[in-house]
Amino acid sequence: MTELSSLYDTDYSAWTLQTAELLRAGRFSELDMEHLLTELSDMSKSDRDELESRLLILISHLLKWEYQYQTLTEQWREFDGRSWQRTIIEQRKRLALRLRKSPSLKAIVNEVITEAYPDAVDLAQKETRLPISTFPSICPYDLTQLLDDDYYPVREKGTQHD
């Protein structure tokens, strides 16, 4: 085990600084390649995980907005509507920022929406206590709607999903 490899296990911050210095200096033979490759791979996974997490929260709140908000009493509608709206606004902002900082994520965002949707439905169902059959089996929102600051879904009375 090299000194740099040991440093990875004992002082991660110092490892990152030393690795950066070695890269800047072009001293590639001294790099801890195993840990460096692991870290680079994990960075990509982290971006995808953040994307999925934010989509899950956003979609679940849009589902609650669409399928429960209209049925709440006026008192609860005012309270929950503001709370849900703040969460929707925040998640949209953070999603747009992540996609701007990591534009390559746009290539997988529809796949991630599909993967996050069942968990978003599960979360919305648990929080609303509505029957699971209330919610569509596939995500009813596209990326444009998900990121549109003015989009809040409204279900017309008597309409069905799917």
* Per-residue pLDDT tens over the stretch 90-104: 999 999 999 999 998
C-alpha span between 37 and 78 (Å, rounded): 50
Same domain, 65 and 143: yes
Q: Which residues contact 161 (CB under 8 A, 6 or more apart)?
A: 134, 135, 136, 137, 140
Task: Give me the helices (H) in 11-158, please.
Answer: 12-25, 33-67, 74-101, 109-128, 143-147
Which tokens hold the place of 103? 């534009």
Each residue's pLDDT tens digit, 18-49 = 999 999 999 999 999 999 998 888 777 888 99
User: What's the structural domain count of the chain?
Assistant: 2
Which pTM does this prediction carry?
0.76
Whether 50 is in a domain gets the answer yes
Instruction: Express as a percent the part of the chain with pLDDT over 90.
Output: 66
Same domain, 72 and 127: yes
Q: Helix 3-10 to helix 33-67 angle, to the nearest 10 degrees?
A: 30
Its domain, for residue 4, covers 1-31
Whether 89 is in a domain gets the answer yes
